[in-house]
Amino acid sequence: DAKTTQPPSMDCAEGRAANLPCNHSTISGNEYVYWYRQIHSQGPQYIIHGLKNNETNEMASLIITEDRKSSTLILPHATLRDTAVYYCIATYTGANSKLTFGKGITLSVRP
């Protein structure tokens, strides 16, 4: 799996958009970009994933650059409950799809 790089932490104000960056410059053509988050010590929660195109679901939007070397997870209206560690993971899907978690980025949403 390609290595991903995320800043260690960031914060944002409640109600504002949180834009979480991720670099994956060595990603291969058939690796997907997945985002998970971990709130306190709960199990990692799936957020969104994408290959080339931008994606949106009820939780977030994922913007992938045209060269696929970086991406941004957007939480459009952050709430206090979004405070968590967010993991960006580049991975194949299929038979050998184990996830490689890094340190992630700690998002702190302030009131």
Partner 1 sequence: EAGVTQFPSHSVIEKGQTVTLRCDPISGHDNLYWYRRVMGKEIKFLLHFVKESKQDESGMPNNRFLAERTGGTYSTLKVQPAELEDSGVYFCASSQGLAALTDTQYFGPGTRLTVL
Starting from the edge strand earliest in sequence, which strands make up the sheet with 70-75, in order?
18-23, 70-75, 61-64, 55-56
Confirm or reject binding of residue 43 to partner 1 (CB under 8 A).
yes
Given candidates 26, 28, 57, 97, which one binds partner 1 under the rule CB under 8 A?
Answer: 97
Given candidates 18, 34, 82, 84, which one binds partner 1 under the rule CB under 8 A?
Answer: 34
C-beta of 47 vs 78, nearer to partner 1: 47
Residue listed under structure tokens 């560690």: 85
- Chain contacts with partner 1 (rule: CB under 8 A): 32, 34, 36, 41-46, 49, 93-103
